[in-house]
Amino acid sequence: MNILLTGGAGYIGSHTAVALASAGHAVVLYDNFVNSSRSVLAALQTITGAQPVCIEADVRDTARLAEVLGSHSIDAVIHFAGLKAVGESIEKPVEYYSTNVQGTISLLQAMQATGLHSLVFSSSATVYGDPQYLPIDEAHPTSATNPYGRSKLHIEEILADCARSDASWRIACLRYFNPVGAHASGLIGENPNGMPNNLMPFVARVAAGRLPRLRVFGNDYSTPDGTGVRDYIHVMDLAEGHLAALDFLTHASGWHAINLGTGQGHSVLDMVRSFEAASGKTVPFDFAPRRPGDIAACYARVDKASDLLHWQARRDLATMCQSTWHHIQSSST
Ligand code: NAD
Ligand code: UD1
């Protein structure tokens, strides 16, 4: 199939481009590089052996999107393009709603104009808010506490309305848990600008000596070791989940919300220990107060992905840490 990846130059998009290319799909990236680097294109060429097709444009440019959908005979879209930093979304809500919500509406208009109805959307476990029970299944109530999370909820609802209005739509909202790790080549991975907000890139930079110490936000949660527990999923497993979702949409219509996680929770201290083992480095840390807005534990029930997509995560925590370490060493300057 010919697949358009909005935000395809980003962290998850670039890994998904590799998985799709290996499965024989033709991939078109569509990105404005607001949070990614053009150097990803050379890395993708090295990994896949083919020069990636990339359109540099904004997802809110509906006319350009429609033109690209038509001229590349696109069969399905995976919509990664969006802004994703929770703290920034509280400071700049208009930018977040514009890029995420308006961007999705623009994409839907372009798809409608070209008669295309197959869409995989990057949603997030953030739509579950503070978990009422664990593991979290897709029937868990949804809520949002910040503009980023609210933008994901609004988009999911808009997509559900589309599917209710027209039976031609085939939409999978993939609710990612905590994507980490990198492609085995080390050539692509997560490269946040400035200070990382998320745990894994922070731990990696401490191990590499680029940051002095990790602050562990809270050691008094009601979890086995008192630190926060999350469902970390290898980005290549996540990428393969998109491939499975595209296959699913070839025979399923309507709107589907599906968790992509491993079903396993790991604490901050588990992550530190695994990263130390993978890197052979020490990760010095201090306990610090809880981070505002954080939850104690969050991990997925993954039966729906297994039943509908015939997909499950295969890579373990050691592989997540080893690939992150390989990437940070390959990209260190
Ligand atoms: P990323 O920032 O690496 O990738 C997003 C890409 O979208 C970037 O390349 C960026 O340049 C592009 N983009 C942003 N605004 C655009 C616009 N207006 N027009 C065109 N391109 C635009 O992020 P990621 O981690 O790869 O996340 C991809 C998607 O998955 C996002 O929608 C994010 O909200 C969602 N998600 C990510 C995580 C995570 O932890 N990484 C978790 C849950 C959900
Ligand atoms: C973050 C996002 C969430 C997003 C998710 C997936 C926030 C507030 N939430 O959540 O919207 O869907 O990523 O990528 O940004 N930790 C430390 N020290 C650090 C960094 C993190 O102890 O320097 C701890 C956190 O307190 C948490 C765990 O590590 O217990 C994971 O944190 P993080 O990687 O930021 O992910 P989430 O909190 O799940």
- Looking at the CA of residue 59, tell me the nearest atom of ligand 1: 19
Atom from ligand 2 closest to the CA of residue 179: 14
Look at the alpha carbons of 11, 73, 248, 49 in this order and tell me if their dihedral is positive or negative: negative
* Secondary structure tally for the chain: helices H, strands E: 12, 14
121 lines ligand 1 (CB under 6 A): no
- 82 ligand 1 Cβ < 6 A: yes
Q: Which two tokens stand for residue 261?
A: 């996680």
User: Closest-lying ligand to the alpha carbon of 235?
Assistant: 1
Q: Locate the ligand 2 atom nearest the alpha carbon of residue 221 and give its number.
A: 30
Would you write out the chain's pLDDT as a tens digit for each of its 333 residues? 999 999 999 999 999 999 999 999 999 999 999 999 999 999 999 999 999 999 999 999 999 999 999 999 999 999 999 999 999 999 999 999 999 999 999 999 999 999 999 999 999 999 999 999 999 999 999 999 899 999 999 999 999 999 999 999 999 999 999 999 999 999 999 988 788 989 999 999 999 999 999 999 999 999 999 999 999 999 999 999 999 999 999 999 999 999 999 999 999 999 999 999 999 999 999 999 999 989 999 999 999 999 999 999 999 999 999 999 999 999 864
Residue 129 in contact with residue 181, Cβ under 8 Å?
Answer: no
> What does the DSSP assignment read for 24-86?
T-EEEEEE--TTS-THHHHHHHHHHSSPPEEEE--TT-HHHHHHHHHHTT--EEEE--S---H
Q: Could you tell me the two tokens for 200? A: 């894994």
pLDDT (0 to 100) of residue 333: 47
From the list 211, 328, 219, the residue with the least C-alpha distance to 278 is: 328
Decide whether any atom of ligand 1 lies within 6 Å of the 58 Cβ: yes
Q: Is 293 in the pocket of ligand 2 (CB under 6 A)?
A: yes
Q: Contact 207/275 with Cβ under 8 angstroms?
A: yes
Which residue puts its alpha carbon closest to atom 9 of ligand 1? 10
> Which tokens belong to 154?
């609004």
| pLDDT computed for residue 319 by the predictor | 98
Q: Which atom of ligand 1 is nearest to the CA of 84?
A: 34
Peptide bond into 93 cis (omega under 30): no
The alpha carbon of 267 and the centre of ligand 2 are apart by a number of angstroms equal to 11
Q: How would you classify the pairing of strands 53-56 and 76-79?
A: unpaired
Which of the residues are catalytic?
148
Identify the CA nearest to 273 among candidates 332, 222, 225: 225
CA-proximal residue: ligand 1, atom 44 (nearest): 124
Q: Write the residue with the smallest CA distance to atom 6 of ligand 2.
A: 178
CA distances from 71 to 51, 55, 68, 74, 129 (A): 18, 12, 5, 8, 40
Percentage helix, strand, coil for the chain under 3-state DSSP, each rounded to 5: 40, 20, 40
- 3-class secondary structure, 311: coil
Q: Is 267 in the pocket of ligand 2 (CB under 6 A)?
A: no
- To which residue do tokens 């997909």 refer? 311
* Whole-number pLDDT of residue 299: 98
Distance CA 74, CA 28 (A): 9
List, as one string, the DSSP characters of 133-184: SSSB-TTS----SSHHHHHHHHHHHHHHHHHHH-TT-EEEEEEE-EEE---T
Q: Ligand 1 centroid to 101 CA: how many Å?
A: 13
**Cα(279) to centroid(ligand 2), Å:** 21
The verdict on the CB of residue 253 being under 6 Å from ligand 2 is: no
Nearest CA among 212, 214, 81 for reference residue 155: 81
Mutate to test the pocket of ligand 1, among 88, 122, 198 (most ligand atoms within 8 A of CB): 122
Q: Is 164 exposed, middle or buried (0-12, 13-18, 19+ CB in 10 A)?
A: exposed
C-beta of 151 in contact with ligand 2 (< 6 A) = no
Name the fold adopted by 2-181+233-262: Rossmann fold (3.40.50)
Which residue has a Cα nearest atom 14 of ligand 2? Answer: 178
CA of 217 to the centre of ligand 2 (A): 9
